[in-house]
Amino acid sequence: MKEWIHLRIRRQDGPETPPYWQTFRLPYAPDQNVVSVLMCLRENPMTTDGRQVEPVAWDHNCMEEVCGSCAMSINGVPRPSCSALIDDLEQPIVLEPLPKFPVVRDLLVDRARMDAGLRRVKAWIEIDGIWDIHEGAPRISPAEWSASYLYSRCMSCGCCMAACPQFGPQSDFIGPAPLAQVRLMNAHPTGRYDKTERLHRIMASGGLSDCGNAQNCVRVCPKEIPLTTAIGELGRQTTLQSLKDLFGQG
C-alpha cells in the first residue's frame, strides 16, 4: 500500500523570473485527484528537505472538468488536474504549467491568446436584429444537433493548444480550439449569417492553412472533441469559399 505521494513541481515566481524545481511529499489517501493534493499541499507547503516555501499557485474553479481552468502538464501530458486521479499516475508526479502559454506564476498561465483567437474567428452568434430577418426560431436537424453538441463541449482548457506543434509564441497559428468553434458556429442556422466572414478570417495568415495535421490535439482533448474532423470540414468550406470569391459569388 502506498504511504506517500511524491510531487515534483516546476515553479516560477513571476513572468520574467527563471523557473526552478521543488519536490514535495504528502501522506497518501485514496481517491484523490491532483487538485485535492495541491490543496493539501497549500496548507503546509514544505519541501522534502524540510524547507517551508510559498504555496504553489495554480488555477481551478468547478472541480468537475467543466471550466477547464485547472489544466496543466501532468507527467508530460496536458490535461485537467481535477480529473487526474493520483492512483492512475506514475510517481513522482511531475507538474508543470501548461506549455505554449505565458506563465503568470508557478502552474498558473495566461490564456489570453486563446481568447484572442476566439474573438478573431467571431466565435459567437449575433442576436440583436437577427430575428427580424426570418420567421420563428431556427430549426436544427437531429443529426446536426448531435454533431454540434460534441463541439459545444469545449471548455477552453487549452490542452489541444498546448499539444499542438504548430501553436506557440513563435507562431501566428490560432490553434485547434478556435477552429473547432468556427465549425460549430457556421453550422448553426443563425450563426450562418456570419459564415463567410469567419471563413475569410481563418483563410488569412495564422489560420487553417497553418495546421500541420499532427493530430496531437484530438489525442489530448479531455472532452474527446473531434477536432481533426472539424478542421477537415473547414478545409472543404474554405475551398468552396475560395471558388466563390474567385467567381465573384462570395
Tens of pLDDT, residues 58-95 = 999 999 999 999 999 999 999 999 999 999 999 999 99
Question: Residue 38: pLDDT above 70?
Answer: yes
Q: What pLDDT does residue 140 have? A: 85
Mark whether 38 and 96 lie in a shared domain.
yes
* CATH, residue 171: 1.10.1060.10
Mark whether 80 and 140 lie in a shared domain.
no
Q: Please identify, among 67, 88, 109, the residue that sits at the C-terminal boundary of a domain.
A: 109
Mark whether 133 and 230 lie in a shared domain.
yes
pLDDT confidence bin for 130, thresholds 50/70/90 = low
pLDDT confidence bin for 114, thresholds 50/70/90 = very high
In the predicted model, what is the mean pLDDT of residues 224-239?
97
Q: In the Cβ-directed half-sphere of 40, how many Cα atoms lie within 13 Å? A: 16
Question: Residue 132: pLDDT above 90?
Answer: no
- The model carries a pTM of 0.92
Mark whether 102 and 117 lie in a shared domain.
no
Number of domains within the chain: 2
Nearest to 15 by CA among 108, 105, 107: 105
**Strand 71-74 and strand 77-80: pairing?**
antiparallel
Domain hosting residue 85, numbered range: 4-109
Q: What pLDDT does residue 190 have? A: 85
At residue 148, what is the residue type? S
Mark whether 175 and 58 lie in a shared domain.
no
**Using CA atoms, how far apart are residues 68 and 63, in angstroms rounded to an integer?**
9
Contacts of 6 (CB under 8 A, 6+ apart): 23, 24, 25, 48, 91, 92, 93
Q: What pLDDT does residue 248 have? A: 85
Q: What pLDDT does residue 137 have? A: 63
Mark whether 121 and 205 lie in a shared domain.
yes
Q: Please identify, among 109, 127, 162, the residue that sits at the C-terminal boundary of a domain.
A: 109
Mark whether 117 and 237 lie in a shared domain.
yes
Mark whether 152 and 218 lie in a shared domain.
yes
Q: Please identify, among 109, 131, 151, the residue that sits at the C-terminal boundary of a domain.
A: 109
Mark whether 126 and 233 lie in a shared domain.
yes
Mark whether 24 and 57 lie in a shared domain.
yes
Give the DSSP letter of residue 25.
Answer: E
Mark whether 93 and 126 lie in a shared domain.
no
* CATH, residue 78: 3.10.20.30
Mark whether 40 and 155 lie in a shared domain.
no
